[in-house]
């Protein structure tokens, strides 16, 4: 449920390392106490509960969700990712509780906000503005966004980072990883250390608003030839590592277009699909966060508005080449070639192919439906997607088979899956085959390995 910020006084963000550690410690103690009571009840009833059964209860999920939402920062961000990626593997009541992390976060109370702004802009910061709304119009895991107008008439959206977020990333990631290990969701044989290193790196980049400002400028340059896209203007004079000032852009949430005409829904998904392909094959630079809130639609101007470039990632040429092989095999209806490309990208391990060849081949067959069809593909028909999900859950049930794909492929797949999910939500109809054929043909003249990377961004 969205928070009414006009009445809600906000909730202070614990910014010190010790205060955040104490919250995690209190959470672990609270969960452990609940486990003892639940275990005693089940033993009295003649049951022999497992540790994972005691951990994965609605009561414990509610405790975790509440605490991560209060901590915000990397803790909440990782909780959101777990709730999105592991939702299908959890009991429905647990998935529903964790899904609350994807709704709006609490904002800072006024006193903490004023302290933060004074630290970052100086005591006289108010003289810079005609107006500055004390209540944010959006709040998320790392920061909150305020509407403001400067003395020289600039209409701005100002993103302000929660205090202590950047310096708490490493410890937050480690603490959430400990909770995951406690939950027994992950096989003990699964080495998540490389993923934790990458998660810390990615979150440090997302918390670097100077880097995000550079990404805003870069994407404005890359899309200068495409007026159907709108990137907010970056205002460096009011920005820094923990504050990002950009032009305020009107627009409606893209998911609200579910009630729009079929023509409008189709156009928005065509724009987003085209952009995703250009990001991969042309720019080799992609905004990888699949959150729907990162896109809005300006109906009056017919523009797709692009927001939040914190998760922008540059992709190596070999990853781009791997996806080219995958799409070329799919367009040729070459199931074996598609399977080889998926293994080459690390999305399936050779062990998984050996143990679950039938299920993997079934997933590929369903996926090829997207490419076989000449003309419009109806994303409102979710039969193939549901069949792929069911086959994937069968593979995931074999915990000994779990592996972590290369991080580049992992982030890229999250973005593609997010675009697909939005297309199904909008029941859009897009000529996917023609779109991919055109993009591959346009970029075929330049070998992706020889293309200059667009990702050389200064931090």
Residues assigned a catalytic role: 289
Contact 273, 432 (CB under 8 A): yes
Closest residue by Cα to residue 271 from 303, 231, 301: 303
> Are 167 and 204 in contact, with CB atoms under 8 Å apart?
no
Contact between 152 and 244 under an 8 Å Cβ cutoff? The reply is no
The Cα 244–Cα 210 span in angstroms is: 7
Across the chain, which distance is largest between two alpha carbons, in Å? Answer: 73
Q: What does the DSSP assignment read for 77-144?
A: HHHHHHHHHSGGGS-HHHHHHHGGGGSPPPPPPHHHHHHHHHHHH-TTGGGGEEEE-SS-SEE-SSEE
DSSP state, residue 315: -
Whole-angstrom distance, CA of residue 355 vs CA of residue 360 = 10
Q: Which residues of 385-423 are buried (b: 16+ CB within 10 A; e: fewer)?
A: bebbeebbeebeeeeebeebbbbbbbbbbbbbebbbebb
| 66-96: burial string, b at 16+ Cβ within 10 Å, e else | ebbbbbbbbbbbbbbbbbbebeeebeeebbe
The DSSP code for 183 is: H
Helix (H) / strand (E) element for 252: namely strand 252-253
Q: What's the count of helices (H) and strands (E) in the chain, helices before strands?
A: 17, 13
| H-helix or E-strand spanning residue 332 | none
List own/partner pairs for 381-386 with CB under 8 A and 24 or more apart.
382/424, 385/420, 385/424
Q: Residue 357 burial by CB count (10 A; 0-12/13-18/19+): exposed, middle or buried?
A: exposed
Q: Which residue has the tokens 């108010």?
A: 126
Block residue for tokens 């995951």:
180
- The tokens for 158 are 């100002």
The gap from C-alpha 234 to its chain's centroid, in whole angstroms, comes to: 22
């Amino acid at each position: 449920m969205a928070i009414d910020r006009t009445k809600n006084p906000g909730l202070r963000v614990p910014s010190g390392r010790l205060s955040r550690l104490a919250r995690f410690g209190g959470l672990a103690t609270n969960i452990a106490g609940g486990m003892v009571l639940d275990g005693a009840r089940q033993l009295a009833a003649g049951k022999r509960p497992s540790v994972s059964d005691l951990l994965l209860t609605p009561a414990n999920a509610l405790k975790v969700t509440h605490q991560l939402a209060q901590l915000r920062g990397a803790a909440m961000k990782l909780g959101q990712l777990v709730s999105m990626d592991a939702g299908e593997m959890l009991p429905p009541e647990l998935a529903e509780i964790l899904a609350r992390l994807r709704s709006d976060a609490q904002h800072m109370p006024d006193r903490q906000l004023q302290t933060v702004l004074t630290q970052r802009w100086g005591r006289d910061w108010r003289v810079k503005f005609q107006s500055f709304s004390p209540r944010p119009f959006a709040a998320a895991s790392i920061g909150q966004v305020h509407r403001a107008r400067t003395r020289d008439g600039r209409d701005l959206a100002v993103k302000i980072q929660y205090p202590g977020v950047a310096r708490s990333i490493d410890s937050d990631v480690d603490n959430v990883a400990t909770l995951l290990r406690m939950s027994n969701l992950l096989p003990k044989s699964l080495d998540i250390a490389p993923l934790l290193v990458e998660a810390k790196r990615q979150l440090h980049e997302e918390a670097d608003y100077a880097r995000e400002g550079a990404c805003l400028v870069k994407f404005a340059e890359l899309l200068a030839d495409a007026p159907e896209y709108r990137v907010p203007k970056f205002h460096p004079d009011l920005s820094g590592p923990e504050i990002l000032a950009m032009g305020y852009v009107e627009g409606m949430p893209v998911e609200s277009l579910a009630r729009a005409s079929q023509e409008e829904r189709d156009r928005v998904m065509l724009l987003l699909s085209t952009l995703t392909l250009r990001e991969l094959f042309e720019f080799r630079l992609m905004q990888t966060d699949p959150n729907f809130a990162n896109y809005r639609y300006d109906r009056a101007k017919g523009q797709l508005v692009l927001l939040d470039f914190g998760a922008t990632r540059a992709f190596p040429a070999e990853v781009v080449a791997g996806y080219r092989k995958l799409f070329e095999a799919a367009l040729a209806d070459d199931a074996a070639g598609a399977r080889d490309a998926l293994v080459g990208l690390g999305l399936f391990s050779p062990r998984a192919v050996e143990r679950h060849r039938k299920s993997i081949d079934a997933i590929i067959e369903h996926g090829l439906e997207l490419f076989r069809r000449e003309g419009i593909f109806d994303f409102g028909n979710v039969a193939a997607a549901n069949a792929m999900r069911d086959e994937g859950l069968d593979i995931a049930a074999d915990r000994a088979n779990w592996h972590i794909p290369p991080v580049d492929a992992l982030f890229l797949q999250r973005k593609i899956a997010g675009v697909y999910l939005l297309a199904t939500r909008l029941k859009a109809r897009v000529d996917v085959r023609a779109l991919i054929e055109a993009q591959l043909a346009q970029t075929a003249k330049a070998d992706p390995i020889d293309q200059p990377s667009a990702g050389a961004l200064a931090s």
